[in-house]
Structure 1
Amino acid sequence: MAITKESIEFHGTLSELYKLAKEGKIKTNLQGSHTRPCKFWTATKVLSGIKNAVILTHGPSGCAYGVKQAYKLTNCRNSGAAYEPVVSTNIGEKNVIYGGEKELVGALKEVDEKYKPDVIFAATSCATGIIGDNVDEIMEKMEPELNAKLMSIHCEGFSGEYRSGFDLVFKQIVKLMDKPTIESRTEMENTVNIVGGKMGAERTEVDTDVKELIRLIKGMGAKVNSVIAGDCTLDELKKAPSAAVNCALCLDIGYAIGKSMEEEFGTPINSTILPYGIAATERWIMGAAKYLNMEEEAEALMKREYAAIKDEFEESKKFLEGKIAIIEGHDAVKCLSIAHMLKSDFGMRPIIFNFHPWSTEARQTSIDYLLETGLDPEILITKGTLAFGKYESMKQTEDELLAFLGGIDSKSVVYFGSSLSFPNIPLVDLNAILNRPRFGYRGALKVAKCINTALSYSSRPRSSLFKKIVFPEDSGLASAQALTPKLSRDLPDCTVYAHRRRRGQCMMN
């Protein structure tokens, strides 16, 4: 490979990058153009996954708008439930000076009477966090007067980075849970919780990753009490500590609530990397089986599942061993999990491309686990990823990768990332696999098939019109990553790839 030193920020192993970050020898802060959602958004995202709950945003009305549109409305639609509102105390300039406690009291009464929720979460915004409204005292005083359970969530955006919002809410909702009894533990001795869900209800029409994990648990002969917090109820939360084990959906996010429940109630946690591929899936299954006393049943399940995909999987695997896998590093936990799968299951050489050094601090749990399992993937960070601008699919980072590879051999390189990049490289976009799951044995087979398809079709010539639209001259690649997944699916190509026009304006106008 031809390495061009002037375009390389870091090239080495994950453990080497981790060491440099800890020693302060590589910049780990996010530049302004690469910012994440604020703590308020991530906190309310998890809260939106609790059924028959109202999120009362204590702040200006605009804070509630995005949460309602992005999370609660979508979650209710996915689950087929009636719309559960996101309400705002709608404080204004006078409240910022004199306080908004009166508005909070009035809103709590109105929400309890009008919507009759099981629980009301009062989520503080930046404004109310700065003026210091005594939300805790108000909630404690009002609870005896109302039917709903009340809980305050201090998630003002300035008080922590985006990851802290997930951890905060998962630790808080542990307070809604009941202490296990001998009877409740006996009743739920064959039951698990899947913890760390932050997407709300699963789509009813899609065979999702979470549904696949539930299917595997049931295939072992066990039960699932709840996915927390993915369309779970207050009653399910109360019973959750009595389950035999908490299985983390995501190692990082699931660990926060799993650890809190272990410390508070003694509920054990099965925490592994995302179950992409066979090796990670079997580790996830056996981790649960150990606490369920179902090791034999788990072994039988794994044999059945592998037998169902063996012929096709092994045939696909023949073509993949030894090939290079370039993995976009923008989603840290996912790219680490994919690297684990490609190395362990397929014998490929994974290179994680533009894994931002910031992720070494934000994702320490996953990195520690990966290194402990003996996998230390290769990391490539180019100058473009630390440049001002949107780095997911900048022309600069594309050129830097091509320079690093010294060109592309379509028979030996597979690119895992956005399908808007590199039309001449065999490309697998796991986000574009709509006929999921991507987890488990069936997911491993699906990934193998996608890689084979990518290898088979990569040599097909693209039309000049396609190249002109997707790669306009003298400009970077406009990325649908700038839009939400829903919007990027619904918008026609002309709105995504519009050249020298405001995004969203059709090229035909």
Structure 2
Amino acid sequence: MDYIKEKTPPVRENRLRACNAYGGTGCHLVQESKKGCLHGTRRAFAQAQGCQLNLSLSILNSLRDAVIIVHAPIGCGGSSGSSAGINKNFQKLRDSGAKALRWINTNLGDNEVVNGGEANLREAVLHAEKEFRPSAIIIVNSCVPAIIGDDIDSVVFQLQKEVRARLVPIHCEGFKTKIPASAYDSVYHGILRNLIEPSEQQLPYKDLLIPDYLEELKEKQRLSRTVNLLNTASMSRADEAELTRLLRALDLNLNILPCYAHPDDFQRVNEAALNVCICATHDDYFVEHLKEKYGTPYILRSIPIGVKYTNQWILDIARFFELEEAAQLLIETENKELEQAIVPYREVLKGKRVLIGGGEIRVVATAELFNYLGMEVAGLRVQHYDQFADELLNDFPDNEVLFNVATGQPFEQANLLEKLKPD
């Protein structure tokens, strides 16, 4: 179902029936998932968990030539300061002229809780436009304005006529969900509605130009071999460079987004031949909309971590472009070099006992990699679970591996460490 006409997307508890409370084995988890019995599970004691606003900022803070306005009390968004250096340096790796992270807090207090905070938001938007002249101003809505009823969409609609920057409201209020990964849907929802969808300000001047048919054919050929590679904030530039190297070896062109992209990069995202996800948890909402709206197919099945899943990821992409033979040759060459290079690491890591924690897709793929290195996987701990991990976990050789699903909950992690005693 396409939710793009709505102001806000549904949370993942409703859209994907995601689970954030489970303890048992991997085999039992997959069985319960396929039966639809994981939704609504509760723990008897809950400690701490993440907030979708902060996870939204992990993507939004990375965008080049944008100003982020956190419409909230002063504490919300404070984590942005800890990532300012990383965002600045990573942006400059893609564009030497990129600016540092620029964010504003509307500083809602007691007065705004009583009288509303829309005036603060309006002032912040106009200040951002005057001070920075960015390509986009992104408004991140928090719990307080959502509870008191601030209508940020109306403020954006009124102000868009007064500012040059594209205004992008993001509804990522923390109280709405116990699955912080709902943040990815909130961010993509705002991007889809405001950076990709055509606006009244963008008139088709292109139609007035005399066409160059040869150049048009060249452009169509280029786009027919172009993929949108959807990265994540947890990737390094080295990760992107390696994936780019592998796909360009198949003579494919790449657009890399959303993280560290420029707002203008999203304008032509619907022209690529294929959308390639690195993580289903991160991108399913985005690629499903692009398929429904523009007919763009996507690859969502695996994540390029470890030999098995990187090979599978490359082959899935190559199959779409009918490049299986070239992909097989590439894989054989890469795997041969890897086997030789990895020998000394296997000697050190063999038999080491590990507990792996993180996102559902990444954790299962990393477990496969550790098995490949000769390590013993004692347990897996993921932040939430939904159907996207079923296939990967079903293929994992040890289907009785201990599996814990918990968003935060440090006491559960401490108990697991004490019980499993990983190296």
TM range (shorter): 0.7 to 0.9
- For each residue in 1:320-342, what CA deviation from the matched residue of structure 2 results, as whole angstroms up to 9, or x when unmatched? 99x68543345533321122334
Q: What is the aligned partner in structure 2 of residue 335 from structure 1?
A: 363
Equivalent residue runs for 1:356-371 within 5 Å: 359=383, 362-371=384-393
Report deviation, 1:274. Answer: 2.4
Q: What is the aligned partner in structure 1 of residue 184 from structure 2?
A: 166
Q: What is the aligned partner in structure 1 of residue 100 from structure 2?
A: 83
Compared CA separation, residues 386 and 282, structure 1 to 2 (3 A): closer
**Does residue 1:59 correspond to 2:94, yes or no?**
no
Q: What is the aligned partner in structure 1 of residue 379 from structure 2?
A: 353
Provide the aligned length of Structure 1 versus Structure 2: 375
Q: What is the alpha-carbon distance in structure 1 between the residues aligned to residue 395 and residue 342 of structure 2?
A: 24
**Does residue 1:211 correspond to 2:230, yes or no?**
no
Report deviation, 1:24. Answer: 6.1
Compared CA separation, residues 172 and 297, structure 1 to 2 (3 A): farther
Q: What is the alpha-carbon distance in structure 1 between the residues aligned to residue 188 and residue 285 of structure 2?
A: 7
Report deviation, 1:313. Answer: 4.6
Question: Does the CA-based 8 Å contact 1:193-1:246 persist in structure 2?
Answer: yes
Compared CA separation, residues 79 and 224, structure 1 to 2 (3 A): same
**Does residue 1:123 correspond to 2:145, yes or no?**
no
TM-score (norm 2): 0.77
Instruction: Answer 1 or 2: higher relative contact order, Cα 8 Å, separation at least 6.
Output: 2
Q: What is the alpha-carbon distance in structure 1 between the residues aligned to residue 314 and residue 249 of structure 2?
A: 11
Q: What is the alpha-carbon distance in structure 1 between the residues aligned to residue 293 and residue 375 of structure 2?
A: 42
Compared CA separation, residues 185 and 259, structure 1 to 2 (3 A): farther
Please say which of residues 238-247 and 19-28 is displaced more in the overlay.
Answer: 19-28
1:40 corresponds to which letter in structure 2?
Answer: L
TM-score (norm 1): 0.65
Q: What is the alpha-carbon distance in structure 2 between the residues aligned to residue 139 and residue 167 of structure 1?
A: 20
Report deviation, 1:254. Answer: 2.3
- For each residue in 1:97-129, what CA deviation from the matched residue of structure 2 results, as whole angstroms up to 9, or x when unmatched? 111111211211111121111111111111111
1:380 corresponds to which letter in structure 2?
Answer: L
Q: Secondary structure at the match of 2:75?
A: helix
Q: What is the aligned partner in structure 2 of residue 37 from structure 1?
A: 50
| RMSD between superposed Cα atoms in Å | 3.4
Q: What is the alpha-carbon distance in structure 2 between the residues aligned to residue 25 and residue 269 of structure 1?
A: 27
1:294 corresponds to which letter in structure 2?
Answer: L
Question: Does the CA-based 8 Å contact 2:63-2:261 persist in structure 1?
Answer: yes
Q: Secondary structure at the match of 1:65?
A: coil
Q: What is the aligned partner in structure 2 of residue 378 from structure 1?
A: 400
2:247 corresponds to which letter in structure 1?
Answer: I
Q: What is the aligned partner in structure 2 of residue 258 from structure 1?
A: 287
Percentage of matched positions with identical amino acids: 22
Question: Does the CA-based 8 Å contact 1:339-1:352 persist in structure 2?
Answer: no
Which structure: larger Rg? 1
Q: What is the aligned partner in structure 2 of residue 192 from structure 1?
A: 227
Q: What is the alpha-carbon distance in structure 1 between the residues aligned to residue 369 and residue 284 of structure 2?
A: 21
> Equivalent of 2:86, from 74, 85, 88?
74
- For each residue in 1:399-424, what CA deviation from the matched residue of structure 2 results, as whole angstroms up to 9, or x when unmatched? 4225xxxxxxxxxxxx5xxxxxx3xx
User: Structure 1: where are the runs of 5+ without partners?
Assistant: 1-8, 403-414, 416-421, 423-509
Q: What is the aligned partner in structure 1 of residue 16 from structure 2?
A: none
Q: Secondary structure at the match of 1:328?
A: strand
Q: Secondary structure at the match of 1:282?
A: helix
> Equivalent of 1:283, from 312, 319, 333?
312
Report deviation, 1:370. Answer: 1.3
Compared CA separation, residues 111 and 128, structure 1 to 2 (3 A): same
Compared CA separation, residues 373 and 269, structure 1 to 2 (3 A): farther
Compared CA separation, residues 133 and 25, structure 1 to 2 (3 A): closer
Q: Secondary structure at the match of 1:272?
A: coil
Report deviation, 1:238. Answer: 1.1
- For each residue in 1:55-94, what CA deviation from the matched residue of structure 2 results, as whole angstroms up to 9, or x when unmatched? 1111222223222x13344311333332131111222211
Q: What is the alpha-carbon distance in structure 1 between the residues aligned to residue 44 and residue 327 of structure 2?
A: 43
Q: What is the alpha-carbon distance in structure 1 between the residues aligned to residue 409 and residue 263 of structure 2?
A: 44
Q: What is the alpha-carbon distance in structure 2 between the residues aligned to residue 87 and residue 234 of structure 1?
A: 18
Q: What is the alpha-carbon distance in structure 2 between the residues aligned to residue 71 and residue 320 of structure 1?
A: 32
2:401 corresponds to which letter in structure 1?
Answer: I
Q: Secondary structure at the match of 1:363?
A: coil
Q: What is the alpha-carbon distance in structure 1 between the residues aligned to residue 147 and residue 181 of structure 2?
A: 21
Q: What is the aligned partner in structure 2 of residue 297 from structure 1?
A: 326
- For each residue in 1:172-196, what CA deviation from the matched residue of structure 2 results, as whole angstroms up to 9, or x when unmatched? 31232268x9976544222212215
Compared CA separation, residues 64 and 326, structure 1 to 2 (3 A): closer
1:163 corresponds to which letter in structure 2?
Answer: A
Compared CA separation, residues 49 and 388, structure 1 to 2 (3 A): closer
- For each residue in 1:368-424, what CA deviation from the matched residue of structure 2 results, as whole angstroms up to 9, or x when unmatched? 231465756332269xx99975444x3x5444225xxxxxxxxxxxx5xxxxxx3xx
Report deviation, 1:237. Answer: 1.1
Q: What is the alpha-carbon distance in structure 1 between the residues aligned to residue 51 and residue 169 of structure 2?
A: 18
Q: What is the aligned partner in structure 2 of residue 109 from structure 1?
A: 126
1:340 corresponds to which letter in structure 2?
Answer: E
Q: What is the aligned partner in structure 2 of residue 222 from structure 1?
A: 252
Q: What is the aligned partner in structure 2 of residue 401 from structure 1?
A: 420
2:388 corresponds to which letter in structure 1?
Answer: S
Compared CA separation, residues 341 and 28, structure 1 to 2 (3 A): farther
Q: What is the alpha-carbon distance in structure 2 between the residues aligned to residue 115 and residue 278 of structure 1?
A: 45
Question: Does the CA-based 8 Å contact 1:196-1:254 persist in structure 2?
Answer: no
Q: What is the alpha-carbon distance in structure 1 between the residues aligned to residue 410 and residue 365 of structure 2?
A: 27
Q: What is the aligned partner in structure 2 of residue 459 from structure 1?
A: none
Q: What is the alpha-carbon distance in structure 1 between the residues aligned to residue 407 and residue 112 of structure 2?
A: 40
Q: What is the alpha-carbon distance in structure 1 between the residues aligned to residue 123 and residue 223 of structure 2?
A: 40
Question: Does the CA-based 8 Å contact 2:380-2:402 persist in structure 1?
Answer: yes
Question: Does the CA-based 8 Å contact 2:61-2:101 persist in structure 1?
Answer: no
Question: Does the CA-based 8 Å contact 1:143-1:150 persist in structure 2?
Answer: yes
Question: Does the CA-based 8 Å contact 2:30-2:394 persist in structure 1?
Answer: no
